[in-house]
Amino acid sequence: MAITSNMRINSERLWDSLMEMAKIGPGIAGGNNRQTLTDEDAEGRRLFERWCTDAGMTMGLDKMGTMFARREGTDPDALPVYVGSHLDTQPTGGKYDGVLGVLGGLEIIRQLNDMNIKTKHPIVVVNFTNEEGTRFAPAMVASGVFAGRHTLDWAYAREDAEGKTLGDELKRVGYLGDEEVGARKMHAFFELHIEQGPILENENKDIGVVTHGQGLKWLEVTLIGRESHTGSTPMPMRVNAGLGMARMTELVNEIALSHAPNAVGAIGHCDVYPNSRNIIPGKVVFTVDFRHPEKDVITDMETRFRQGVREISEGIGLQHSIEEVGGFDPVEFDHGCVTAVRAAAERLGYSHRDLVSGAGHDACWINRVAPTSMVMCPCVDGLSHNEAEDISPDWAAAGTNVLFHAVVETAVIVD
């Protein structure tokens, strides 16, 4: 039996589940603050787990706390088709970033159950731990361990701003599993995600067929100057770490603009010490986020930035150090999986266009160990990592219908 264009998910049920999940870890402006391995994240995980078991799935949990919900196939030896994303959010996150990909995967299972459809390959819905990298840097850390990019011990040692480690927090919230991370073999992996950029909405397209993901480099910079009185210290005597950060912020912007239109660069995290109104900052720590679809441009941006840090530091008399705290090369997704997504959009009659993902996703790491691709739907004003992040129920349904067809086509319907 082949999948046909009238086979669609239940969009009301999907939307209700998105709204239900959004009640957990509410933000202060209508979005979510469900940071990884907090009590709010644990509550969201428990709700997801209940929904999965209600849908007849069996749960698995690995040593990074990544959750796997499995629907059996007719061939127990066939490698499963995996589908999913992440339930953790930014501190001022939206209701759909990551969540749509996990609950869209759950909706596929619910719809297959309603239609009593069996597939040859099992299907597994995944919730990856700490995709956001906001509480514990870097982003996509659990999928990075799964793909062999990070060791488990390195991931466990990641610390949040209060000095708590990822490993301890995993234990505290009760999501330290016993499965070896990465032991699971996948037939394919599909991730549905909001675009988090303006292209699909501006071009009035329903679906993004994601062919590539741009590369990323996170550099943590520490500048050491000298604390002194903001009032009585003559300007020539100052060793102002804050001034260094200000000049380097401008440098990041300049370097990114020099590679227009595709390069991006910003500083989103910074700590100023002692952060007192009348003390010249003696130390600042900040993280630079450079991204581009081509590896050699990222390398050029990093090289020029490092050179600039040396020169600016010398000019002010600062000591400096730079540590790479995250990064991955640009990604080209699997041709077969991309074709399955494109064919699904065409079969379902959705307008679509090929897309390079601006944001990083778990799929970017999983692509190293299994055939992988992504489906994207538009978001309002291309806004994300902002509590005002918004999508329409129709966009959610369109993305999930395409995901449904791509996953079930790959998992092979059995008559």
Q: Which does 98 bind (CB under 5 to 8 A by kind): ligand HGY, Mn ion, none?
A: Mn ion
DSSP string over 221-278? EEEE-B--BTTTS-GGG-B-HHHHHHHHHHHHHHHHHHTTTT-EEEEEEEEEES--TT
CB 357 within 8 A of CB 210: yes
Tokens 């741009």 locate to: 214
Q: Which residues within the stretch 127-186 sit at the binding site for ligand HGY (CB under 6 A)?
A: 131-133, 139
Q: Which is nearer to Mn ion, 122 or 133 (CB)?
A: 133
DSSP code at position 382: G
Which range touches ligand HGY (CB under 6 A), out of 125-133, 141-149, 164-172, 387-395?
125-133
Q: Which is nearer to ligand HGY, 161 or 183 (CB)?
A: 161
* Minimum CB–partner distance for residue 259 and ligand HGY (Å): 18
The length of the chain is 415
* Minimum CB–partner distance for residue 236 and ligand HGY (Å): 41
Provide the terminal-to-terminal Cα distance of the chain, rounded to the nearest Å.
5
Give dist(CA 329, CA 296) in Å, integer. 10
* Minimum CB–partner distance for residue 223 and ligand HGY (Å): 24
Tokens 């260094």 locate to: 244
Under the binding rule (CB under 5 A), the answer on residue 97 touching Mn ion is yes
Q: Which is nearer to ligand HGY, 107 or 131 (CB)?
A: 131
Q: Which residues within the stretch 266-305 sit at the binding site for ligand HGY (CB under 6 A)?
A: none
C-alpha 290, offset from chain centre: 16
Give the SS3 label for residue 149: coil
Q: Which is nearer to ligand HGY, 223 or 252 (CB)?
A: 252
Look up residue 35 and give its two tokens: 């940071």
DSSP string over 57-95? PEEEEBTT--EEEEE--S-TTSPPEEEEE-----TTB-S
Q: Which does 177 bind (CB under 5 to 8 A by kind): ligand HGY, Mn ion, none?
A: none
Tokens 């319907």 locate to: 413
Q: Which is nearer to ligand HGY, 211 or 240 (CB)?
A: 211
Q: Which does 195 bind (CB under 5 to 8 A by kind): ligand HGY, Mn ion, none?
A: none
CB 194 within 8 A of CB 206: no
- Judged on CB neighbours under 10 Å (0-12, 13-18, 19+), 79 is middle
Which range touches Mn ion (CB under 5 A), out of 10-18, 89-97, 116-124, 349-357?
89-97
Strand 352-357 versus strand 207-213 pairing type: parallel
Interface pattern 46-85 for Mn ion (x via CB under 5 A) = ----------------------------------------
* Minimum CB–partner distance for residue 144 and ligand HGY (Å): 11
CB 51 within 8 A of CB 59: no
Under the binding rule (CB under 5 A), the answer on residue 191 touching Mn ion is no
Radius of gyration of the chain (CA): 22
Q: Which is nearer to ligand HGY, 132 or 302 (CB)?
A: 132
* Minimum CB–partner distance for residue 158 and ligand HGY (Å): 14
Q: Which is nearer to ligand HGY, 102 or 139 (CB)?
A: 139
Give dist(CA 215, CA 22) in Å, integer. 30
* Minimum CB–partner distance for residue 355 and Mn ion (Å): 15
* Minimum CB–partner distance for residue 174 and ligand HGY (Å): 24
Under the binding rule (CB under 6 A), the answer on residue 359 touching ligand HGY is yes
Under the binding rule (CB under 6 A), the answer on residue 360 touching ligand HGY is yes
Q: Which does 84 bind (CB under 5 to 8 A by kind): ligand HGY, Mn ion, none?
A: none
C-alpha closest to that of 338 among 254, 175, 213: 213
Q: Which is nearer to Mn ion, 97 or 195 (CB)?
A: 97
Size of the site for Mn ion (CB under 5 A): 2
How many other C-beta atoms are found inside a 10 Å radius of the C-beta of residue 83?
28
Residues 31, 98, 244, 399: which binds Mn ion (CB under 5 A)? 98
Q: Which is nearer to ligand HGY, 360 or 399 (CB)?
A: 360
Q: Which does 133 bind (CB under 5 to 8 A by kind): Mn ion, ligand HGY, none?
A: ligand HGY
Interacting residue ranges for ligand HGY, rule: CB under 6 A: 131-133, 139, 359-360
- Which stretches of the chain bind Mn ion, using CB under 5 A? 97-98
